[in-house]
C-alpha cells in the first residue's frame, strides 16, 4: 500500500494519464484550489491499494488539457474546477460552459483578480 504526491508540469499530464490508464489505474478525483492568486490542480489515481496524486501549479489564464478523452468520468470534476475556480480546461468532452451550478458569482473560489471567462458571453 502506497500513497504518493508527485509535482509535475502540466505538459506531462496527458502522457502520464494515458500510461496510468494503460496500466489499469482509475481516476479517483480531481481537485482545484486557489493558492496565492494561482491554482493547484490535484489528480488522484488509484490501483489496488496504491494511490498516486499528480499535482500541477497553474497561473490564472494558463490553460490545461482535459482528461475526458482518456477518463470520461473527469467531465464533472473538470467542469466544477472551471466554474467554481475559473481554471481554463481545454477540450472537456461534455463542457457545461459554466452552467453546472446555479450560482450568481463567476468563479467564487478563484483568484480575486481577473478570471478569464468573466468577459465571455
CATH number at residue 70: 3.30.460.80
Asked whether residue 27 is assigned to any structural domain, the reply reads yes
Asked whether residue 22 is assigned to any structural domain, the reply reads yes
Asked whether residue 115 is assigned to any structural domain, the reply reads no
Span 7-13, average pLDDT: 98
Of 15 and 121, the one with more pLDDT: 15
121 pLDDT exceeds 80?
no
Asked whether residue 46 is assigned to any structural domain, the reply reads yes
The predicted structure's pLDDT at residue 120: 54
Number of domains in the chain: 1
Per the structure, the complete domain to which residue 88 belongs is given by: 2-108
Average pLDDT, the chain: 93
The predicted structure's pLDDT at residue 1: 87
DSSP 36: T
Span 81-94, average pLDDT: 96
pTM of the model: 0.89
The predicted structure's pLDDT at residue 113: 65
Closest by CA to 83, choosing from 44, 37, 32, is: 32
Amino acid at each position: 500500500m502506497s500513497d504518493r504526491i508527485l509535482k509535475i508540469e502540466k505538459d506531462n499530464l496527458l502522457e502520464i494519464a494515458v500510461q496510468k490508464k494503460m496500466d489499469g489505474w482509475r481516476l479517483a478525483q480531481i481537485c482545484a484550489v486557489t493558492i496565492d492568486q494561482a491554482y493547484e490542480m490535484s489528480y488522484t489515481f488509484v490501483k489496488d491499494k496504491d494511490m498516486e496524486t499528480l499535482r500541477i501549479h497553474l497561473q490564472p489564464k494558463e490553460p490545461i488539457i482535459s482528461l475526458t478523452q482518456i477518463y470520461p468520468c473527469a467531465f464533472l470534476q473538470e467542469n466544477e474546477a472551471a466554474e467554481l475556480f475559473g481554471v481554463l480546461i481545454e477540450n472537456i468532452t461534455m463542457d457545461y460552459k459554466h452552467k453546472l451550478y446555479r450560482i450568481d458569482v463567476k468563479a467564487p473560489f478563484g483568484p480575486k483578480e481577473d478570471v478569464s471567462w468573466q468577459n465571455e458571453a
